[in-house]
Amino acid sequence: MKGKNILLCVTGGIAVFKAVHLTSKLTQAGANVKVIMSQSAQKFVTPLTFQALSRHDVFIDTFDEKNPAVIAHIDLADWADLVIVAPATANVIGKMANGIADDMITTSLLATTAPVWIAPAMNVHMYDHPAVKRNIERLASDGYQFIEPSEGFLACGYVGKGRLEEPEKIVTLVETFFNRQERKTRLSGLHVLITAGPTREKVDPIRFFTNRSSGKMGYAIAEEAKKMGAYVTLITGPTSLIPPKGVQVISIESAEEMYEAALNYYDKANIVIKSAAVADYRPKIVHNEKMKKQEGPLTIEFERTTDILHELGKRKNHQILVGFAAETNNVTEYAKSKLERKNLDMIVANDVTEKGAGFQGDTNKVTIISREGKEKVYPLMSKNETARAILNEIELLLQGDEQ
C-alpha cells in the first residue's frame, strides 16, 4: 500500500483507541493517512494523537479551511484512494444511509468517488436494532463495503457482536484490496502512452475547428492500464474529464502539439495507443486578431496536419503501436488499410454510425484487428470494458513476443 492515500473517518465511540492503532499500522505500511474526527470522537482521544501518528493535520471542522487554495472536504474526498470509517457509530451510519451531510466527515463521504469501507462498532443491541440493520442494508445496496464487527467483550459490559475489527485485520484487508487493484499483469511496470480527446485547430484567437471526441475512450484506457500496473502517460486534447489517479497527464490543444508530446515520450514507451481524434486539416493561416465579418461567403484554406500515427509507425523499433479507426462505411476495409499503411500492430475499428458506439457516450462497439488480419468483433460494452478488451489483446501480443 506504499504511497496509497487513505482517508480515515473517526466517529465517537470507545473504539477510537483502535483507530489510533490503525493509523499507526497503516502509516508504518507506507500509506499516506489523513484523519477526520467527529465532535464526539474528540471526547475520547485528542486530534493531536492522530496528527502525531499520521504526520498530517487532522480535520475536525468543515469551515476550518486550512489551505485557502482548496475546499478542504472536496480536496480530501478527491485525494483519497480509499476511505475507511472506523469506528462507525450507529449515528454516522444513519446519516450516511440518509445522505445527511452536516459535518466534515459526512460532507467528505458524500463528495468522494473512492471506495468507502465502514467498520461499525457499538453495543450489541444497537447493532441488532432494526433501524441500524435497515441503514446497513441500504448502504450495502448503495455499494458501501462493511468490515463486520467481531464478537467479544464490549466496553458497555455486554458480550456479543459490536467490537471494532482488530486493526491488524483491517490492515490485511487494505493490503489485499490494493494488491488486487494493481494486480500483476504483463503490463506491470511497462510504459503505456495513450492519446485521448479531440484537437483544436485555431482560426483566430477565439475560433477553432474541433471534433466530437469527449476523451472518454482514451481516459478509460488510461484508467484500466494504470490498474494493470503500467506507468501511464496520457496526452490529452481539451476535455471536461477528470484524469484517472496516478496517471501522468500532458495537456495539448493542436495536432502539432500532440505530435511533439508523442515524440517526447515515444522512445521510453513500450506500448502506444492512439485513441485521440486528431484533426487531419488545420487552417493554413491563423489570424492574430479576431477575424471581422465581411460581406458574402468566407473561404478558409486548410492544410494537412502531421499524421502522428504514421510518423510513429515509421520510427517504430521496440514499441507495440495500436491505432483506432473511426469510420462510417467500409469500416474493416479502411481500418485494415490504416493498420498496414501506418505500420501498426493492432487497430481498433469503430463504426461510429452504430448505436452506442464511438463519440461521447459511455459505451463503444469495436472490432480489434491484428497485424495478421485476425478480426475479433466485440459486443456493445462500456468504454472501460472496451479498454480492458484492448489491453487484454495487447497482453496476448506481449505473451506471443515472450515465446
Residues acting as catalytic residues? 156
Stretch that binds ligand PMT, among 93-101, 114-122, 244-252, 301-309 (CB under 6 A): 301-309
DSSP 159-221: EEEEEPPPHHHHHHHHHHHHHHHT---TTTT-EEEEEESB--EEEETTEEE--S--SHHHHHH
Q: How far is the CB of 268 from ligand PMT (least distance, A)?
A: 19
Question: Could you say which of 106, 236, 350, 384 contacts ligand PMT (CB under 6 A)?
Answer: 350
The mark string for 72-111 relative to ligand PMT (x by CB under 6 A, - otherwise) is ----------------------------------------
Q: How far is the CB of 364 from ligand PMT (least distance, A)?
A: 6
Q: How far is the CB of 21 from ligand PMT (least distance, A)?
A: 45
Stretch that binds ligand PMT, among 47-55, 157-165, 170-178, 305-313 (CB under 6 A): 305-313
Nearest to 48 by CA among 38, 57, 36: 57
Which lies closer to ligand PMT via its Cβ, residue 58 or residue 368? Answer: 368
Neighbour-count burial for 272-299, b at 16+ CB within 10 Å, e otherwise? bbbbbbbbeebbeeeeeeeeeeeeeeee
Which lies closer to ligand PMT via its Cβ, residue 132 or residue 276? Answer: 276
Question: Could you say which of 359, 380, 381, 392 contacts ligand PMT (CB under 6 A)?
Answer: 359
Which lies closer to ligand PMT via its Cβ, residue 90 or residue 255? Answer: 255
Should residue 276 be labelled a site residue for ligand PMT when binding is judged by CB under 6 A?
yes
Should residue 324 be labelled a site residue for ligand PMT when binding is judged by CB under 6 A?
yes
Question: Could you say which of 16, 323, 387, 393 contacts ligand PMT (CB under 6 A)?
Answer: 323
**What Rg, from alpha-carbon coordinates, does the chain have?**
26
- Alpha-carbon distance 361 to 349, whole Å? 16
- Alpha-carbon distance 297 to 54, whole Å? 66
Stretch that binds ligand PMT, among 83-91, 94-102, 224-232, 307-315 (CB under 6 A): 307-315
Should residue 25 be labelled a site residue for ligand PMT when binding is judged by CB under 6 A?
no
Element containing residue 95 per DSSP (H, E):
helix 90-97
Neighbour count for residue 397 (Cβ, 10 Å)? 17
Nearest to 270 by CA among 322, 319, 315: 319
DSSP 225-292: HHHTT-EEEEEE-S-SPPPPTT-EEEE--SHHHHHHHHHHHHTT-SEEEE--B--SEEES---SSPPP
Near ligand PMT in 327-346, by CB under 6 A: 338
Question: Could you say which of 278, 339, 346, 391 contacts ligand PMT (CB under 6 A)?
Answer: 278
Which lies closer to ligand PMT via its Cβ, residue 13 or residue 358? Answer: 358
The mark string for 194-223 relative to ligand PMT (x by CB under 6 A, - otherwise) is ---x---------------xxxxx------
Should residue 244 be labelled a site residue for ligand PMT when binding is judged by CB under 6 A?
no
Should residue 277 be labelled a site residue for ligand PMT when binding is judged by CB under 6 A?
yes
Should residue 358 be labelled a site residue for ligand PMT when binding is judged by CB under 6 A?
yes
Should residue 369 be labelled a site residue for ligand PMT when binding is judged by CB under 6 A?
no
Longest dimension (CA), the chain: 89
Stretch that binds ligand PMT, among 89-97, 106-114, 272-280, 388-396 (CB under 6 A): 272-280
Question: Could you say which of 255, 339, 346, 389 contacts ligand PMT (CB under 6 A)?
Answer: 255
Bridge partners (DSSP) of residue 198 are 277
Q: How far is the CB of 257 from ligand PMT (least distance, A)?
A: 12
Q: Which three cell numbers stand for residue 376?
A: 475479433
DSSP state of 90: H
Q: What angle is formed at CA 316 by the lines to CA 314 and CA 317, rounded to 5 degrees?
A: 140
Which lies closer to ligand PMT via its Cβ, residue 42 or residue 343? Answer: 343
CB–CB of 87/10 below 8 Å? yes
Q: Which three cell numbers stand for residue 167?
A: 486493526
- Alpha-carbon distance 326 to 350, whole Å? 5
Q: How many residues bind ligand PMT (CB under 6 A)?
A: 28
Question: Could you say which of 275, 320, 331, 365 contacts ligand PMT (CB under 6 A)?
Answer: 275
Residues that bind ligand PMT (CB under 6 A): 197, 213-217, 255, 274-278, 280, 305, 307-309, 323-326, 338, 350, 352, 358-360, 364
